[in-house]
Homo-oligomer: A and B are copies of this chain.
Amino acid sequence: MKKLRRSARLVDMTQHLLAQPHTLIPLTVFAEQYGAAKSSISEDLSIIKEAFESQGVGVLTTVAGAAGGVKFIPKVKTEDALDFMKELITHLGNPERLLPGGYLYMSDILGNPITMSKIGKLFASAFADKNVEVVMTVETKGIPLAYATALYLNVPVVIVRRDNKVTEGSVVSINYVSGSSKRIQTMSLARRALPEQSRVLIVDDFMKAGGTVRGMIDLLQEFRATVIGCGVLVETADVSERLVDEYVSLAKLQEVDIKGKQIEIELGSYFQK
């Protein structure tokens, strides 16, 4: 145990809190680590709390009592979310992104880990109070978003496979109809990959008719899970029905004019709250 000055303590506590979101840390842990009185740690935490809140990093919640402590909840300010998504939408609106079938080329955006991290923080903010236990996605493109979200919620990720060649013991498979292609497809998840009755947040990059998300919801029934919500980066305007109650999109593809090479993208349902 090394006694640290307040300035060094602030740096180290900041780093520890950021690395352990949604985790209750007893004040005694910090007090022992830095050889400081609990009252000094409390003062440090109020400095960090104010800085985090004013800079839009997130919220520090203090729980009093013997089982108490401090918890960092990542939260994005609405104005920061707006600035970020407006810039991303400009970027996405480039007509060169148009792909056959009304899809958008997004691999460059999905390949940027800092962009993914920012989007993950948006989803984690939106579902911060929902006691998410697992983030689920289907391979391949939703995976980085799922991890980024799960890192801010501090919960595990479960990845559904698009085939049934899973070699991980007993497997649950379902067939589903991909809404846009109308073809029957398979998705699978190993039994041991998800505890029964988990509270699951579904995350994906793109939602057209919603068949893939519906497939995941059906699959989750086999695990007696509760789907607490769904977050997608881009939805298309032709989604006819809401698949889950807590449904959040960050952007909405309104119109695609393939011949005229025009795309129209708006802010998604995240910003309608």
Q: Which residues of A contact B (CB under 8 A)?
A: 2, 4, 6-8, 10-12, 14-15, 18-20, 47-48, 50-52, 54-55, 57, 99-101, 103, 105, 107-108, 111-114, 116-117, 139-140, 143-144, 147-148, 150-151, 154-159, 161, 167-169, 190, 192-193
Contacts and interface: CB of A to CB of B under 8 A. Distances in A.
Given A11-B14, A48-B11, A151-B113, A107 B144 contact: no
Nearest to A156: B111
Nearest to A8: B51
A146 B255 CA distance: 34
Contacts of A11: 10-11, 14, 47-48, 51-52
A14 B8 CA distance: 11
B105 A157 contact: no
A159 B140 contact: yes
Contact of A10 (B10, B50, B161): B10
14 contacts: A11-B14, A11-B52, A15-B18, A99-B167, A100-B167, A107-B190, A108-B156, A111-B156, A111-B157, A113-B155, A117-B151, A139-B139, A140-B143, A144-B147
